Chain A
Amino acid sequence: MDLLSDLFLDYTLRTVALGSAALGVVSGALGAFAVLRRQALLGDAMSHAALPGVALAFLVTGSRAPLVLMIGAALTGWLAAAAIVYIVRASRIRTDTAMALMLSVFFGAGLVVLTFIQRQPAAGKAGLDKFLFGQAAAMLESDVITMASVGAVGLLGVLVLWKEFKLLSFDPDFAATLGMPTRRLDMLLTSLLVIAIVVGLKTVGVVLMSAMVVAPGAAARQWTNRLGVMVTLSALFGAAAGVLGALLSTTAETSTGPTIVLVATGLVVVSLLFAPARGLVWTRMHAWRSQRILALEAVMSDLAALAAQHSSDATRPHDVAALHAVRGRALVDRALGELAADGLARRHDGGGWSLTPRGLAEADRLARMRRTPDNDL
């Protein structure tokens, strides 16, 4: 447990953990809306497009202050998003094409600006290349404070306009009929996505930051059917992935961005598999169980039909070879075994089967239930 004690004692580790937690909360909470609004790839485009902003901000101001670089990143990220929306609206180019185009063009322009910086006296250039893959170890207290403050503004925005953003994401037309300025709200919520991205750029890097926006939300969606719970969970998942990933990368000396992304991906995989009600394991088991019940009911009704042909003695044994032929031997035998175990059917000495009186009553009840029209379907 060296890591744990280091976490409380070691200044760098504590800074890294705090910063990554802040980044995770912000990108998780704001990213949840991006996932719901199908903006996962827009996030990718915007984070790549942040590169020229970072480089230009440094080139123009000569400052490496986190806030300055974040503002630069936000400006070009936002500009790319606006360009995508405009190109799609004004021409026949579709969204996916506009996104891929802007992503690569902005990133390319960023590379060009970076070469200008590299030509400057060596003192200034260090650090900017870390924006590609991020470096948690380089995080300073001032970075953490800036990240937390910028992120807090974003979170506050979501809290204040909660019901507006919720309705906008779910049913924008209805929001418009209520008089909500949907276009401006849309722009605002997309701007908050930009905030979610720029907050993590220095830690995770432009290439992978989109995953931090998408993964926590995708994981959280599996656990709940309520927006409030989803956004909260998403923030928690984001924080967990951030802290765990950053600490892992510091101790294992791997790049921070990829490590955080892999932890977040792990959370997604676990959620997709094991979340109750939606998870794949759960739904598989559910499907398997209901299939078994259906088989039981089918065999029961078959036996009941055979019994009805011999009204004199309803519990007299029947040869199940016909059932084997129609429904398959394995299925029928398994179902008969379970019915017998439940006391609904019984095997006669000659090898024939029949329902017990209780089984007959149950089959009758099921048949009547099925005849009543289901009003809801």
Chain B
Amino acid sequence: MTAWLRTGDPFAVQATDLTLAYQQRPVLWDVDLEVPQGVLMAIVGPNGAGKTTLLRTALGLLRPAAGEVRIFGRPYAEQRRLVAYVPQRGSVDWDFPTTALDIVTMGTYGGLGWVKRPGAAERSRATAALAQVGMQAYADRQISQLSGGQQQRVFLARALVQDAQIYLMDEPFQGVDATTERAIVDLLRALRADGKTVVAVHHDLQTVAEYFDQVTLLNVRRIAAGPVEKVFTEENLRLTYGGRVAGIGGRGNGTPLDMSP
């Protein structure tokens, strides 16, 4: 009997007792994560806290040493089509000969299965998704010719095309301009209004309360998790960042309170 069946309410994403080590060096120690459906959740913690690792484990990209991740109560491999992924910008090859529209079309590959190529239907869906993030004018641009914010919006459009229930994003606000940041926030809220669930690794502590409903504070172990207003306290932040945070409003000594420009 797994936990969600006992509580009767399957979480969108649920990790239990997740432990993961690189070369026996623990990156996640016995982490539990429960993300209810229809919320925007931020994962917050210092560098090396295992935030990206947690996301990658949820996506089945890493194999945990212990514990498991379930998507609506079932293993990821069975629920792939319900999950979309926005990788950290910079994890792809920028000089690759591909256009913005082409990248968004890649979001349809999962539904196509082997061998079959994307056709007119897939391309029109991709065009629509590009329009949704305000990038239709740039459909034919090569990706390195786009600004950081534009690139990020292209990758968001790719996730939108996947038409998923759960969106996992690795630092979607990193290195984007103010306009894109607003566009992303609007998009996140639209997703929530549609009953979708978003889990995002986030660096900017000052905007957590504004952008997200729920937060998980992580530093190798889970420090706290829940609604932002209950969990996002100075005490918990101090536990997470090891006493280096002076306060949410001010800058602590050397702590990356605000990573986005």
Whether B98 sits at the interface, judged by CB under 8 Å, is yes
B80 touches A171 (CB 8 A): no
Whether B25 sits at the interface, judged by CB under 8 Å, is no
B115 touches A161 (CB 8 A): yes
B91 touches A178 (CB 8 A): no
Distance from A76 Cβ to chain B, minimum over Cβ atoms (Å) = 30
Task: State in angstroms the CA–CA spacing of A167 and B104 once bound together.
Answer: 12
Please indicate the chain A residues that have their CB under 8 angstroms from the CB of B60 in the complex. 176-177
B93 touches A225 (CB 8 A): no
Please indicate the chain B residues that have their CB under 8 angstroms from the CB of A226 in the complex. 97-99, 102
Whether B1 sits at the interface, judged by CB under 8 Å, is no
Please indicate the chain A residues that have their CB under 8 angstroms from the CB of B99 in the complex. 225-226
A221 touches B118 (CB 8 A): no
Please indicate the chain A residues that have their CB under 8 angstroms from the CB of B149 in the complex. 376-377
B118 touches A375 (CB 8 A): no
Whether A170 sits at the interface, judged by CB under 8 Å, is yes
Residue in contact with A173 in the complex, picked from B61, B80, B179, CB distance below 8 Å: B61
Q: Which residue of A lies closest to B149 (CB)?
A: A376
Task: State in angstroms the CA–CA spacing of A4 and B57 once bound together.
Answer: 62
Interface residue total, chain A, C-beta cutoff 8 A: 27
Please indicate the chain B residues that have their CB under 8 angstroms from the CB of A178 in the complex. 80, 109-110
Please indicate the chain A residues that have their CB under 8 angstroms from the CB of B77 in the complex. 179
Please indicate the chain B residues that have their CB under 8 angstroms from the CB of A375 in the complex. 177, 179
A171 touches B117 (CB 8 A): no
- Per-residue CB contact flags for chain B residues 76-115 toward chain A (1 = under 8 Å, else 0) read 0100100101010001110011110011001001101011
| B142-157 interface (Cβ within 8 A of A) | 142, 147, 149-150
Distance from B100 Cβ to chain A, minimum over Cβ atoms (Å) = 10
Tell me whether A170 and B61 are in contact in the complex, defined as CB-CB below 8 angstroms, given that A163-B118, A179-B110, A226-B102 are known contacts: no
Task: Using C-beta atoms within 8 Å of the partner chain, give the interface range for chain B.
Answer: 20 to 34
Please indicate the chain A residues that have their CB under 8 angstroms from the CB of B92 in the complex. 170-171, 174
Please indicate the chain A residues that have their CB under 8 angstroms from the CB of B109 in the complex. 163, 167, 178
Please indicate the chain B residues that have their CB under 8 angstroms from the CB of A229 in the complex. 97
A177 touches B97 (CB 8 A): no
Please indicate the chain A residues that have their CB under 8 angstroms from the CB of B56 in the complex. 173
B147 touches A171 (CB 8 A): no
A174 touches B106 (CB 8 A): yes
B97 touches A376 (CB 8 A): no
Distance from B186 Cβ to chain A, minimum over Cβ atoms (Å) = 14
Distance from B152 Cβ to chain A, minimum over Cβ atoms (Å) = 12
Tell me whether A173 and B91 are in contact in the complex, defined as CB-CB below 8 angstroms, given that A163-B117, A226-B102 are known contacts: yes
Task: State in angstroms the CA–CA spacing of A221 and B142 once bound together.
Answer: 12
Please indicate the chain B residues that have their CB under 8 angstroms from the CB of A161 in the complex. 114-115
Distance from A58 Cβ to chain B, minimum over Cβ atoms (Å) = 38
B142 touches A225 (CB 8 A): yes
Task: State in angstroms the CA–CA spacing of A76 and B6 once bound together.
Answer: 56
Distance from A114 Cβ to chain B, minimum over Cβ atoms (Å) = 39
Whether A146 sits at the interface, judged by CB under 8 Å, is no
The 6 sampled A-B contact pairs (Cβ below 8 Å) are A174-B92, A177-B80, A177-B83, A178-B110, A225-B97, A376-B150
14 extra A-B contacts, CB within 8 A, seeds A169-B96, A226-B97? A160-B115, A161-B114, A163-B117, A163-B118, A164-B114, A167-B106, A171-B92, A177-B83, A177-B85, A178-B80, A179-B80, A225-B99, A227-B98, A377-B147
A interface vs B, CB < 8 Å? 36, 160-164, 166-167, 169-171, 173-174, 176-179, 221, 224-227, 229-230, 375-377
Nearest first, the 5 closest Cβ-Cβ pairs linking A and B are A178-B110, A225-B142, A375-B179, A177-B85, A171-B92
B interface vs A, CB < 8 Å? 56, 59-61, 77, 80, 83, 85, 87, 91-93, 96-99, 102-103, 106, 109-110, 112, 114-115, 117-118, 142, 147, 149-150, 158, 177, 179
